[in-house]
Chains A and B, each alone.
Chain A
Amino acid sequence: MRVRQYGSVVCRIGRLVRSIAFLPLLLLSGCSAHSLSRQFLIFHPAGPLSGADMRFTVLDVAVMLGIIIPTAVVTTFFLLHYRKTNTTAAYDPTWSHSNVIELVVWAVPLLTVALLGYYAYRGTYAVDPFHPRLLKVAQAGPGAVPPRLRVDVITTDWQWLFIYPKQHIAIANELVIPRGATVDFHMTSATVVNDFFIPNLAGMIDVMPGMRTEQVLVADKLGTYKGYSANFSGSGFSWMGFKTRVISPKRFQDWVQSVQHVPLHMDYAQFNAFAKPTKNINGKTYEFSDVKGRLFDQVIEGVLKGRVYTTQLPPPGSA
């Protein structure tokens, strides 16, 4: 599944950076290297797309450090060596031009940008949220095509609703996906702009009212991952998180069946009640069965026709 087309060297660099970079931080935290390192969600991808994000990060940093560290060292050396009090250093009070140096100082950044520009092009297509090239390459390879799962995402002020349209179920403030499946997200917002983000699994992509954005993710590793909105959306924004549970396909089937029998249902009218501004301070989750298939489209249409879920004026004098 995982495609290492950018070279295993980059991966090895990634592991090295991971193990070195956090040593000084131990002083701050007083906890073990392993548990602190796990907190660096960006460096612990649980799927190929977030893995590609991380590898491009490491590649970019490595190339840039190749220039920035020598520049910093040389500048520091110049400053100290050519200090006024060092009377043995050369002093050239009129020198201000050299064609060779000027050629080099333009060429070095130019070549760097050319190199990084190429990787930017490769990377942008590789993890494009609509049609990631990375997955296309992966799925063209040998082995069975992984199953696809469609999830519709609707954000409200300030909750998440994940609808599984084929299964006619929905779950609020929690996302459940089977390992190995390609999950296609269609996303919209009932109110203002949010940003769908699961650091271990999926990069950020805006969730906008009256529009549909998409994201794709594949989870390789079982586990529970943090997801949240990354784009400020009002007073309840800090509590706008959702747990992402990656479970085995078998357990996912069981879970779907169990949700199909829960008593809460969801149609457009019930959605409008659900979408009243709510700060989900206690991290409550809800499951819904018998979810109407057109709900996602109805929410978009409603917003386009001018439906707003108005915020009330805060009481006077409340800062």
Chain B
Amino acid sequence: MVNVQGPWSPIFGRLSLGAIPDNPIIAGAFIFSVVLGILVLAYLTYADRWGYLWREWLTTVDHKKIGVMYIIIGLVMLFRGFIDALMMRTQQVLADGAHSPGFLGAAHGYLVPYHFDQIYSAHGTIMILFAATPILVGLMNVVVPLQIGARDMAFPYLNALGLWLTAVGAALIMLSLFLGDFSHAGWVGLTPLTELAYSPGVGTDYWMWAIQISSVGTTLGAANLIATIIKMRAPGMTWGRLPIFTWTALSTNIIALTSFPLLGVALGLLGLDRYFGTHFFTAGMGGNLMLYSDLFWMWGHPEVYFVILPAFGMMSEIIPTFSEKPLFGYVTMVAASFAIAGVSWSVWLHHFFTMGAGPRVNTFFSIATMVVGIPTGVKVFNWAFTIYRGRSRFETPMMWAIGALFMLLVGGLTGMMLAMPPVNYSVHNSVFVVAHFHTMLMVVVYGILGAVTYWFPKVFGFRLNEPLGKRFFWTFTIGTIMVFIPMYTSGFMGMTRRLDYLTNPALFPFEVAEELGIGFYLVSVYYFVRQLYVSLRDRNANRVGADAWGSARTLEWLAPSPVPFYNFAVTPRVHARDELVWRRGQGLDGVAPTHYEDIPMPRNTSVPLVIGAFALGLGFGLVWRIWWLTDASFIAIILTVIARSFVRDTDYVVKAGEVERIEKNLRQRAAEVARAGAAAGGIDVLRPRESSP
């Protein structure tokens, strides 16, 4: 064990009262969190919802509920990451030029450098690993089993474990806000800045363990989804009929399963450096900091495709539905997804073209990077030809999908620029790069928001409010344009990344534009929350039938909305690539099964939650070097896993009669909703629009 700066005691480790920050902004965030927490706890107690929460959510192994919880974690962290962005933008607009004012102890702006550095590091870590990743994993969790006609994931218990490990990572990051500090060395963990000599505090440890623990969860989830897609498909669901989103989920999880262990190794070796004084990534004593860059980006670049491939899949589901026409070039689309996944392994070095590799190496990685543009370009063209001779409808999910398509065009242009080393040298560490990867991540965000709107009625049984969704879309889009176009521009002015103070006053107008853009984002957050509230309030007016959009195509739209816990009463037999369209054509889409069967289902379990709690103890103990807590938590996790392995009673059977009763109730309720809708003069919500000619 290495010695660390500052006091240490056997009971509290490095933890002391001094770890509580005295910054007024953090104090405000703390009060906000405490008040929100008290309100939630008070509501749960007052409404007597603790039992419901425990039975239906905390101990569930239902893939839809786990997916929803993943998405909720992701949205909460998305909000946190957004606040970080807001603070960064505000700092840069305030701290521009030698005469800019300083507040709260900062020479310029209102954040001291060390605080600003933590904010940008937290923003990156949160947005990639605790917002985008959980939301995507959540959506795949919800949608994939439904699309392939499965009752649940292949390993429901493992699925819940993955969720709680991700939650632990998110919890550690939130804890770092109020107790100690966060890493200041970027979400990528720049070595040797992350080494103990240059980051002596607990910040890097928070960053390291939060990612390490949650990445175990993501890896488990990837194995689970791959197994589910390969083994759990309904009869007739051949590879050639697999919905395109499931194909992208398969390719993306192959990436996750093969790349996340690399991240574990990179962070594990860094951990050895920081805790045992080894020299893997130090500058001297035989260490090699470039080794970390290689290991990190060998995971980091596949991770980029891990987040973008599902977004492509979502666009490939949404665009055909709202063009009322099959996806153009299905086989090509599948091939393109796997081509992207394959090439994603051989491009990592473009993240450090400037590290001084020779021209042979840089040329290889440059051309490999450009090759990614081929299948991506094919996808864009195929979406365009899906719209060609279709009947486009501009409901909110379609708006998001179109937005993603145009973001991809801009991101593709700038990506092809950055792929070329002579171009890259002049903008590599500039805000141009920041604008580029945000444009690409906007493809993901637009895809996600489209997908959430698209599949929301499948999970909850009612649609989200359409006018507020449109306002959300437009304010968000104006925000995107106003933030990132000036950011690209300032990159050409030589503005570099991660600056808490700008020396060049000429950047000021661009900073102001970006600040206004973030204001539009703030308004869009309001519309999003309002959309959720209004939709929930008016849910009875917005209920939908199995096919929520009237022109949906794939198998998941055959199940009732909201989907009962067993998904399909009788496992469907699949006849076509667009099964629902096929059934509609045959007049079979509303036909009820003639007989029901017993359904074996996995039993709820609290073990994943318990393991998650111990993992939180483990992570917290490691961060603060409280060895007794670390040891106790680790042993407890091992014992829990062993104890769980003796539990044989993990499944139960839903009797055929019970299934029949539930299905009958569902149909009855659907009929009532339809009558109520018709009485209110509304459309027939059960089959709102018939699209087949």
Residues in A lying within 8 Å of B, measured CB to CB: 25, 28-30, 36, 39-43, 50, 52-54, 56-57, 60-61, 64-65, 67-68, 71-72, 74-75, 78-79, 82-84, 89-98, 101-102, 104-106, 108-110, 112-113, 116-117, 119-121, 123-130, 189, 191-193, 195, 197, 199, 203-206, 208-211, 213-214, 226, 228-239, 241, 281, 303-308, 310-314, 316-319
Complex partner residue of B190 from A75, A124, A192, A316, CB under 8 angstroms? A192
Cβ of A129 to closest chain B Cβ, rounded Å? 7
CB-CB contacts of B185-203 with A at 8 A, as 1s and 0s? 1100011110001111100
Contacts A125-B359, A130-B358, A208-B289 aside, 6 further interface pairs with beta carbons under 8 A come to: A39-B493, A101-B385, A206-B352, A210-B283, A237-B113, A318-B23
Residues in B lying within 8 Å of A, measured CB to CB: 5-6, 16, 18-23, 26, 107, 111-115, 117-118, 181, 184-186, 190-193, 197-201, 282-285, 289-290, 323-330, 332, 352, 354-356, 358-359, 362-363, 366-367, 370-371, 373-378, 380-394, 402, 405-406, 409, 412-413, 416-417, 419-430, 486, 489, 491-494, 496-504, 506, 509-510, 512-513, 691-693
Complex partner residue of A313 from B6, B354, B384, B491, CB under 8 angstroms? B6
A78 and B384 contact, CB distance less than 8 A: yes
B420 and A123 contact, CB distance less than 8 A: yes
B494 and A56 contact, CB distance less than 8 A: no
Could you say which residues of chain A place their CB within 8 Å of the CB of B491?
Answer: 42
Cβ of B166 to closest chain A Cβ, rounded Å? 27
For the complex, what is the distance from the CA of A304 to the CA of B287, rounded to whole Å?
9
Complex partner residue of B117 from A53, A68, A232, CB under 8 angstroms? A232
B363 and A120 contact, CB distance less than 8 A: yes
Complex partner residue of A308 from B186, B197, B412, CB under 8 angstroms? B197
Could you say which residues of chain A place their CB within 8 Å of the CB of B494?
Answer: 41-42, 197, 199, 226
A95 and B193 contact, CB distance less than 8 A: no
B387 and A68 contact, CB distance less than 8 A: no
For the complex, what is the distance from the CA of A54 to the CA of B367, rounded to whole Å?
19
Contact A230-B428, Cβ < 8 Å, known A78-B384, A313-B200: yes
Cβ of A181 to closest chain B Cβ, rounded Å? 21
Could you say which residues of chain A place their CB within 8 Å of the CB of B422?
Answer: 52-53, 56-57, 120, 123-124, 126-127, 203
Cβ of A175 to closest chain B Cβ, rounded Å? 16
A74 and B199 contact, CB distance less than 8 A: no
Complex A-B, nearest 7 residue pairs according to Cβ-Cβ distance, in ascending order: A203-B425, A316-B18, A109-B377, A209-B283, A199-B494, A123-B422, A230-B429
Name the residue of chain A whose CB is nearest to the CB of B416. Answer: A64
For the complex, what is the distance from the CA of A113 to the CA of B328, rounded to whole Å?
23
B423 and A191 contact, CB distance less than 8 A: no
Name the residue of chain A whose CB is nearest to the CB of B369. Answer: A120
Interface centre among B193, B491, B501 (most CB of A within 10 A): B193
Cβ of B473 to closest chain A Cβ, rounded Å? 15
Could you say which residues of chain A place their CB within 8 Å of the CB of B426?
Answer: 42, 50, 53-54, 57, 199, 203-204
A60 and B378 contact, CB distance less than 8 A: no
Interface centre among A106, A125, A206, A238 (most CB of B within 10 A): A238
A83 and B513 contact, CB distance less than 8 A: no
B425 and A205 contact, CB distance less than 8 A: yes
Could you say which residues of chain A place their CB within 8 Å of the CB of B384?
Answer: 71, 74-75, 78
Cβ of B466 to closest chain A Cβ, rounded Å? 15
List 7 A–B pairs whose Cβ atoms lie within 8 Å, in order of A's numbering.
Answer: A84-B392, A96-B328, A101-B329, A125-B363, A235-B114, A239-B501, A318-B114
For the complex, what is the distance from the CA of A120 to the CA of B423, rounded to whole Å?
9
For the complex, what is the distance from the CA of A306 to the CA of B419, rounded to whole Å?
36
For the complex, what is the distance from the CA of A97 to the CA of B577, rounded to whole Å?
14
A43 and B388 contact, CB distance less than 8 A: no
Cβ of B241 to closest chain A Cβ, rounded Å? 14
A109 and B6 contact, CB distance less than 8 A: no
B506 and A311 contact, CB distance less than 8 A: no
For the complex, what is the distance from the CA of A40 to the CA of B193, rounded to whole Å?
31
B389 and A82 contact, CB distance less than 8 A: yes
Could you say which residues of chain B place their CB within 8 Å of the CB of A112?
Answer: 373, 377
